[in-house]
Amino acid sequence: MKVLLVGGGAREHAMARAVKRSDDAALVVVMKHRNPGIAALADDVALLPETDVDAVVAYAKEQGCDLAVVGPEAPLEQGLADALTQAGVPTASPSAAAARIETDKRFMRELMAKHQVPGRLDHHHFDDETAALAFLDEHGPVWAIKPVGLTGGKGVQVHGDHFQDLDGAKAYVSQVFSKGTGGGAVQFEELAVGEEFTVMAFTDGTTVLPMVAVQDHKRLREGDEGPNTGGMGSYSQCDGLLPFLTQGEYEDAVLIVQALVDALRAEGCPYVGTLYGQFMLTAAGPKVIEVNARFGDPEAMNVLWLLETDYVMLLQAMVEGNLEARKVGFRPNATVVKYAVPQGYGDGTPEAGTPVTVDEAAIEALGATVFYASIEEQDGHLRTLTSRTLAVLGEGETISEAEQVAEKALEHVHGDLFVRHDIGTPAVIAKRIRNMQHILAKEA
Ligand code: AMP
Ligand code: GLY
């Protein structure tokens, strides 16, 4: 079985390892930059733009791949999964039509409304700047404002966080239209108040097999300050829930994922692959903040590290449409992932070329691990590129134990890098629980 993996970040490093845990799976990889962690696992690597559909398909055919899986969303939007499937390489990632659940926020909200998927939020869409500004004049500034298309997770601005008043809201809307960000159309969404969490699932278009819940940390700095990033780190708990999330609330989120999958099938674009639901747990239960057509990054590291089921078997079952006959299991432990990023990432101009050294053996000896991301080997030395550099993962019986292991692992990473050390600490976990209690009490 020869598997093609597309993508070269830490998420794909986690996917590559999961593939290689499977007996006699060969792995070939297409990525933009040579991720040293993935390259060490791969039987062959092609350095290509991941969105160059023709080149990726030609490579898959030349390599004689039996199966493919795509990490990032941009190639999905370009129809890579469709093209690979057409070329005879079954692909456990969604078609461009199904991936609109991520790539077109208007499609996602309208699909939820049409099919009465629970977890809906009020939403208003504008292609025209004048109309969008008039809407704000009439309805005030209390919204989440989103460019409609892909922005790499950095395009959302929220009232109370990123802007405080009508002028601030209007300034952002005008900026989206003048810069053409995310397709140059905006969506205003009802503000959901609560704690965020992620539930991802494997699906063959009908059956949904959910994974353990994870909480990501989008804000750059400790105490949830600073701009939104791709995600600075994440944790999961041994029972698959989170310290502020009950079994019933988790199950509500899974029902929402199932309803989304059912809705996409009913629309004639069945969704095959990993589906990512980002939720806000509010006083009225989980609400959908965003849906992604892929694994989350960093969340993929938490769940794939714990995955006990053969990943290649799951990929096959998804493309063959027989996931119903399968079960998915996770090691019942907690995980904490912390990203190390170049100085300036998120709110400045990160400089590429910073030297980094990693003592992988010392990290593995802790029962921890390192996932490489935006980093390259040059003349035998690791050097940063401009995005998130690498992530460490600690595992333990409790989140706190896993957090301490992750911190010990970071002592074996050297270089001028920035880390949010507060992720998974007892103080931050307590704050999350208090926040949720406060929201529930206010509502009661
Ligand atoms: P996204 O890029 O859609 O994940 O959004 C980035 C962040 O903005 C999310 O992690 C949330 O914290 C926040 N956000 C997005 N949409 C909403 C919403 N409707 N209500 C409250 N917060 C939101
Ligand atoms: N962790 C958020 C994302 O992958 O979009």
Residue 291: closest CA among 224, 203, 221, 177: 203
Residue 414: closest CA among 441, 378, 393, 390: 390
Could you name the CATH architecture of 195-427?
Answer: 2-Layer Sandwich (3.30)
Enter the DSSP assignment of 323.
G
Task: Indicate the SS3 state at residue 243.
Answer: coil
Q: Would you state the structure tokens that stand for residue 124, as one six-digit string?
A: 């208003």
Q: Which atom of ligand 1 is nearest to the CA of 155?
A: 2
Residue 338 to residue 392: CA distance in whole angstroms: 6
Q: What is the per-residue pLDDT for 149?
A: 79
Which residue's entry shows tokens 């397709």? 183
Q: What is the per-residue pLDDT for 153?
A: 64
Helix axes 247-266, 105-114, angle to 10 degrees: 100
Residues 6+ apart with CB under 8 A from 388: 9, 10, 229, 230, 339, 340, 341, 345, 373, 374
Half-sphere exposure of 292 (CA within 13 A, CB side): 23
Please state the pTM of the whole predicted model: 0.96
Please report the DSSP string for 19-84 in residue order. HHHSTT-EEEEEESS--HHHHHH-SEEEE--TT-HHHHHHHHHHHT-SEEEE-SSHHHHTTHHHHH
Q: What residues line ligand 2, using a CB cutoff of 6 Å?
A: 153, 216, 231, 292, 296-297, 299
pLDDT values of the chain reduced to their tens digit, one per residue, 444 residues: 999 999 999 999 999 999 999 988 999 999 999 999 999 999 999 999 999 999 999 999 999 999 999 999 999 999 999 999 999 999 999 999 999 999 998 999 999 999 999 999 999 999 999 999 999 999 999 999 999 877 766 688 999 988 999 999 999 999 999 988 877 889 999 999 999 999 999 999 999 999 999 999 999 999 999 988 999 999 999 999 999 999 999 999 999 999 999 999 999 999 999 999 999 999 999 999 999 999 999 999 999 999 999 999 999 999 999 999 999 999 999 999 999 999 999 988 898 999 999 999 999 999 999 999 999 998 889 999 999 999 999 999 999 999 999 999 999 999 999 999 999 999 999 999 999 999 999 887
Residue 263 to residue 277: CA distance in whole angstroms: 14
Q: Counting every residue, how long is the chain?
A: 444
Mutate to test the pocket of ligand 2, among 276, 294, 295, 339 (most ligand atoms within 8 A of CB): 276
Q: What is the per-residue pLDDT for 181?
A: 82
Q: Would you state the structure tokens that stand for residue 82, as one six-digit string?
A: 């469709």
Specify the residue with its C-alpha closest to ligand 2, atom 5. Answer: 296
For domain 2-91, the CATH class is: alpha beta
Residue 117: closest CA among 258, 273, 274, 290: 258
Is residue 128 within 8 A of residue 172, CB to CB? The reply is: no
Nearest ligand atom owner, CA of 288: 1
Beta bridge partners of 47: 31
Residue 339: closest CA among 204, 220, 209: 220
Q: What is the per-residue pLDDT for 379?
A: 84
Specify the residue with its C-alpha closest to ligand 2, atom 3. Answer: 296
Tell me, in angstroms, the distance from the centre of ligand 2 to residue 380's CA: 31
How far does CA 405 lie from the centroid of its chain?
23
Nearest ligand atom owner, CA of 200: 2
Residue 395: closest CA among 377, 408, 386: 408
Is residue 34 within 8 A of residue 58, CB to CB? The reply is: no
Q: Would you state the structure tokens that stand for residue 242, as one six-digit string?
A: 């989170």
Nearest ligand atom owner, CA of 189: 1
Ordered by start, the domain boundaries in the chain are 2-91, 122-189, 195-427
Specify the residue with its C-alpha closest to ligand 1, atom 9. Answer: 289
Residue 156 Cβ contacting ligand 1 at under 6 Å: yes
Q: What is the per-residue pLDDT for 221?
A: 96
List the CATH code of the domain at 122-189: 3.30.1490.20
Tell me, in angstroms, the distance from the centre of ligand 2 to residue 108's CA: 16
